[in-house]
Amino acid sequence: MDYLNNKFDIIVVGAGHAGCEAAISAARLGCKVLLCTLNVDNIALMPCNPAIGGPAKSTLVREIDALGGVMGEVADATYIQMKMLNSSKGPAVRALRAQSDKKEYMAYMRNIIENTDNIYLKQCCITELLVKDNQIYGAVDEFGIEYTARAVVLTTGTSLEGKIWVGLRSYSAGRLGEKAAIGLSQSLNKLGIQTKKLKTGTPSRVDKRTIDYSKMTIQPGDAELNFYSFKPNRPIRKQFPCYLTRTNEKTHEIIRANLDKSPMFQGLIHGVGPRYCPSIEDKIVRFAENPSHHIFIEPEGLGTYEVYIQGFSSSLPADVQIQMLRTLPGLEKAHVIKPAYAVEYDYVPAVQTTHSLMSKKIKGLFLGGQINGTSGYEEAAAQGLIAGINAVNYLNNSEMLELSRSSSYIGTLIDDLVTKDIEDPYRMLTSRSEYRLLLRQDNADARLTDIGYKIGLIDDVQYKIFTDKQEAIQKEQQRLMKTKISATDEVNTILAKYGENIERGIKLGELLKRPNIDYKILKELDSTTKELDVPKDVYEQVEILIKYDGYLKRQEYQVEIGSKLEKYRIPDDIDYTKIDHISSETKDKLAKIRPKTLAQASRIGGVKPADISILMVMLDRHTVARIK
């Protein structure tokens, strides 16, 4: 009954996507968690896009699920549209995207939290951290109430000293209709933790009853459904369409004529905005040669008339926004429910944390999500899960979970954050991974379920489902590479439909390697393949493993080569100032980030290959222990 005295194992500050994953994972691992949020009615809120997934992000969601997180499960339970993007392209860039029912998503996540033992939910604003001898021991809320804990996870999103801008007017808020978190930044600064400013934004919400959808292009969901979670029994729900419209010269004229009313263009916003998701006024200026831009019309849920205008975020005045919107085909009579706005907020550059997401300065203090300089629900949830797991590991004096770049997009995301000076909100992209052919959304379970099981977040039932699937994949792959099909007239008649033929007998696996042949065609050709009725998630893996075998082996070799630098461990107490032949700037960067291995050092911006060679010689000369 320690909660009666405000004593907990872990305090999680913020109940967005990062905070939910952190709290649930820590509680399921046996710790008593105080989950603090500014508003208990906004748990797992989607303040921007009412959607989960998309390029690279879908891989993060499936990795979260494979490790035992909950985002994939919640997205599967509350979708109103499922769509596989880039389905005609290779498996490395295919991406599942779920249009979510915003309120249902929040309700489902809150239900998980309220039915998870060990989570104590509280509406309050944490304003101060309690630290002694560089060790966290609790936090204080706005009312002066103290809560003690040996670990604290900060997942504050955009609330930290948040300021909203609509035109040249601004007010304190983390999101529209919600107060900002005031005081915690000052507490962090007093503890020697640096904070900086970032900026993001969101579009207007429009009443769907005032939209003429006949002037837009319909964007339906997929007939053949895919899901995020590897758990069975995913719900089959009715799907609803999104729509596509475009800006035009009239839209652009209104924007250009009102740039003097933009806080961003007037220099009033000091935070850097997201490079890959710019405001509409930023697009018009940066891409002046483009005559129009795609705008997607997306429902926010089944129980609301609110519609999200994707691609039309802005910080221009509310009256100008209305003028702009009404130039778009289908939105000529649009009624705006909520205006677009920009929000400027504090974040903590993640070079101040380790790969475990624990602060380098304060033991027991973990940070996850937008506070680390990222953008996106999926990036936040991934960090929250790792921070929650490692907060538990810290309390148990266990080895920290630090995923490698070659194991996951999560590992890539965190490595980028803690080894590079991020100047704009970080978004996960497939191009950020050098191993993206190995790190696909479809094989996240094969890569990470063993880890989730060892941690204790994957139960025996789910693990049995996983091992049975891997066994089935291996068995079917071996069968196809052994089974031979003859060059009969019947076989060639079928193959001719797909622009193929065979002159002699061929193994099914070899035939599957051809670009025009997929597993479904093998069912037409071979009665045994048809009768086996192999599940879709199994035969898709078999097809990828056989069809891309050469490419996969080549990338596995790249991983092997890259891992050599990982074996050179850099001592924690190394004094970079005493190393000759390395520039002062490089020494400062190495001292600031303090990489653990030469591989990590090589990824620091500004560190040159010559610097790595010097470090390698130094480590060899002093016979520093290598990782075996």
> Do 464 and 514 share a domain, yes or no?
yes
Please tell me the predicted confidence (pLDDT) of residue 74. Answer: 98
**Do 441 and 515 lie in a common domain?**
no
Q: Which of 438, 455, 472 corresponds to the end of one domain?
A: 455
Percent of all residues in the chain with a pLDDT value above 70, rounded to a whole number: 98
Torsion-angle region of 468 (φ positive above 0: left; ψ -120 to 50: alpha; else: beta):
alpha
Phi, psi of 147, deg, nearest 5 = -125, 130
> Which among 309, 288, 277 has a CA at the least distance from the CA of 199?
277
**For residue 123, what is the domain's CATH number?**
3.50.50.60
Q: Determine which of 12-26, 370-384, 428-442, 557-571 has the lowest per-residue pLDDT on average.
A: 557-571
Does some domain include residue 613? yes
Q: What does the block give as tokens for 353?
A: 């944390």
What's the CATH code of the domain at 523?
1.10.10.1800
Are the CB atoms for 334 and 401 separated by under 8 Å? Answer: no
Percentage of the chain with pLDDT > 90? 78
Domain match, 473 and 446 both: no
**Whether residue 544 sits in one domain with residue 409:** no
Quick one: pLDDT band at residue 624, thresholds 50, 70, 90? very low
Residue 421 three-state SS? coil
* Residue 541 forms part of a structural domain: yes
Mean pLDDT (whole number) for 501-515: 93
What value, to the nearest 5°, has the Cα angle with vertex 330 and ends 325 and 333?
60
Q: Which positions ≥6 away from 477 have C-beta within 8 Å?
A: 509, 542, 545, 546
In tens, the pLDDT along 139-181 reads 999 999 999 999 999 999 999 999 999 999 999 988 888 899 9
- Which residue in 452, 450, 475 sits closest to 541, CA to CA? 475
- Please give the pLDDT value at position 621: 66
604-620 per-position pLDDT tens digit:
877 777 777 788 777 77
What are the residue ranges of helices labelled H in 162-297? Answer: 184-190, 249-257, 280-286
In total, how many domains does the chain have? Answer: 3
Domain co-membership, 542 together with 581 = no
pLDDT, tens only, 345-368: 999 999 999 999 999 999 999 999
Label residue 1 by pLDDT band (50, 70, 90): low
* pLDDT reading at 625 higher than 70: no
Total-model pTM: 0.93
Q: Is the dihedral of CA 283, 287, 289, 292 positive or negative?
A: negative
CB 426 within 8 A of CB 277: no
With CA atoms as reference, report the closest residue to 141 among 183, 87, 173.
183
512 inside domain: yes
* Amino acid at site 478: Q
In a domain, 14, yes or no: yes
The angle, 0 to 180 degrees and rounded to 10, between the axes of the packed helices 249-257 and 318-325 is 170
DSSP assignment of 508-556: HHHHHTSTT--HHHHHHH-HHHHHHT--HHHHHHHHHHHHTHHHHHHHH
Instruction: Sort strands 33-37 and 10-13 into parallel, antiparallel or unpaired.
Output: parallel
Q: What is the CATH number of the domain that holds 574?
A: 1.10.150.570
pLDDT, tens digit, 9 for 90 and up, residues 284-343: 998 989 999 999 999 999 999 999 999 999 999 999 999 999 999 999 999 999 999 999
Question: Angle 102-114/17-28 helices, nearest 10 degrees?
Answer: 30
- Domain ranges, residue 609: 567-621
Residue 400 or 279, more confident: 400
Domain match, 150 and 23 both: yes
DSSP, residue by residue, 423-465: -S-B---GGG-TTTTTS-GGGHHHHHHHHHHHHT-S-HHHHHH
Domain co-membership, 484 together with 503: yes
Which DSSP state fits 350? G
Whether pLDDT at 627 is above 50: no
Q: Is the domain of 607 the same as that of 494?
A: no
CA separation for the pair 159, 179 (Å, rounded): 8
